[in-house]
Amino acid sequence: MLISCKYRAYPDAATEARLNVALDTCRWLYNALLEECTTARETGIAPTMRGMQARIVTLKEENPFLKGVYSKVLQMVNYTLWSNIRALSQTKKKGRKIGKLRFKSASRYRTLNYNQSGFEIDRGHSSITFSKIGTIPFKMHRPYSGEVKGILITRSGDRWYVIIQTEQTVPASKCEGRSVGIDVGLNAFAVDSDGAVIENPRFYEHSLDRIRKLQQSIARKQRFSSNWKKAKGKLEKVYEHITSQKNDFLHKLSRRYVDTYATICVEDLNIKYLKENGKSRGLLRSIHSVSWGRFFSYLSYKAESAGTNFIQIDPRNTSQMCANCGSIVKKTLSDRVHECPYCGFVADRDYNAAVNIHRVGMEQPFEPVEPIPLHHVSVMQVLAMKQEAPPFRAG
Ligand SMILES: [Zn+2]
């Protein structure tokens, strides 16, 4: 399993200038390779990843400025281009009508990918020396572990980050800095950026028959009679049971997230509701919003005592924005699938939102999103999770 740890980096002015030149060179190469692929196709030749890899060598002779960038970084530009092309052709195979890959503008090209080589980490001085760039200090607020497979240098506004990718043989635990974005919704209770789909609990719906029968029996009895009181007591028990089931579910689910992740990103529900003010929300939504609010408050206080970061982000565009390329793809509540006409990225709409929530919360730039299979987590699975230690209560 590949784990990414992201750290703020502090290049000096001269190094920053070299980084910007390298980014611009990579962007130039990306667009040049894309153009050659398109031209080749138009003349009836199918371009290949290997062919383009070889083309980089001759392009370097024709354009000596390319030699200013570490060769493996240039190769990774081609790799990124081809993973975008593959994502696009997979969508085409499904018979969807989609556009072409776009040329990258300067603001869109923000990441240098040092894969396998070309870097040397000095943990003692918390700095990394990159071939053809220089030494960049970074703030290691949380140690990483495992074998380093690659490092990304990425620009976000005027900030720089290094993302250290390590190979983990054992399941990653919190201290290795795993982070997640969680989107709550009406279809599933939650979908997260690691592909878990948490089933919606329907405790109330499951007890509805029993509640109706008890309500009818209460209505038939004389008010304040002993039988009336008995029936009324039974109904209260059913409600209490539903409430405790729901709380048990929310406690166990939030515990699972806090125990697994070092950082948890969610939407700020207050801003979300403020924006929806005036629009009809419906009963279903208001019932759910109570659970979401409680889930977030459990996450928040459990996170605090466990040293986990809990980040609430502005929910603007989280569901409309393409997690892969950042384009706004308008959809209504009934559209279950996100399908980007600009880059071809296709994903479950809630998963797309969860990836956006994660990216915004972690202040990460757009990276190609690896399509991962979603896995379903049932209510029973959540309830079977480890019971947390009972809270200390006086008396
Ligand atoms: Zn897109």
DSSP 8-class letter at 120: E
CA of 273 to the centre of ligand 1 (A): 27
CA of 348 to the centre of ligand 1 (A): 13
Q: Are residues 199 and 133 in the same domain?
A: no
The pLDDT score that the predictor gives to residue 174 is 59
Q: Are residues 228 and 102 in the same domain?
A: no
Read off the pTM. Answer: 0.55
Domain stop point among 130, 157, 176: 176
Range of the domain at 211: 179-383
- Give start and end residues of each alpha helix (H) in 63-149: 71-93
Q: Are residues 95 and 188 in the same domain?
A: no
Q: Are residues 189 and 161 in the same domain?
A: no
Domain stop point among 176, 193, 222: 176
Residue 126 domain-assigned (yes or no):
yes
CA of 339 to the centre of ligand 1 (A): 8
Tens digits of per-residue pLDDT, 300-330? 999 988 888 999 999 999 999 999 989 999 9
**Burial class of residue 259, CB neighbours in 10 A (0-12, 13-18, 19+):** middle
CA of 343 to the centre of ligand 1 (A): 4
CA of 101 to the centre of ligand 1 (A): 9
Q: Are residues 85 and 14 in the same domain?
A: yes
Per the CB < 8 A criterion, the answer to whether 168 and 146 are in contact is yes
Q: Are residues 162 and 191 in the same domain?
A: no
Residue 228 domain-assigned (yes or no):
yes
CA of 229 to the centre of ligand 1 (A): 60
Q: What is the dihedral of CA 98, 100, 103, 105, to 10 degrees?
A: -10
CA of 335 to the centre of ligand 1 (A): 16
pLDDT at 390 over 80: no
Query: Residue 338, SS3?
Result: strand
Residue 131 domain-assigned (yes or no):
yes
Q: Are residues 234 and 346 in the same domain?
A: yes
Residue 215 domain-assigned (yes or no):
yes
How far apart (Å, rounded) are the C-alpha atoms in residues 149 and 160?
20
CA of 345 to the centre of ligand 1 (A): 5
Q: Are residues 251 and 309 in the same domain?
A: yes
Residue 393 domain-assigned (yes or no):
no
Please report which confidence band the pLDDT of residue 290 belongs to, taking 50, 70 and 90 as the band edges: confident
Among all chains, which residue has been given the structure tokens 């029996």? 217
Q: Are residues 261 and 290 in the same domain?
A: yes
Q: Are residues 71 and 124 in the same domain?
A: yes
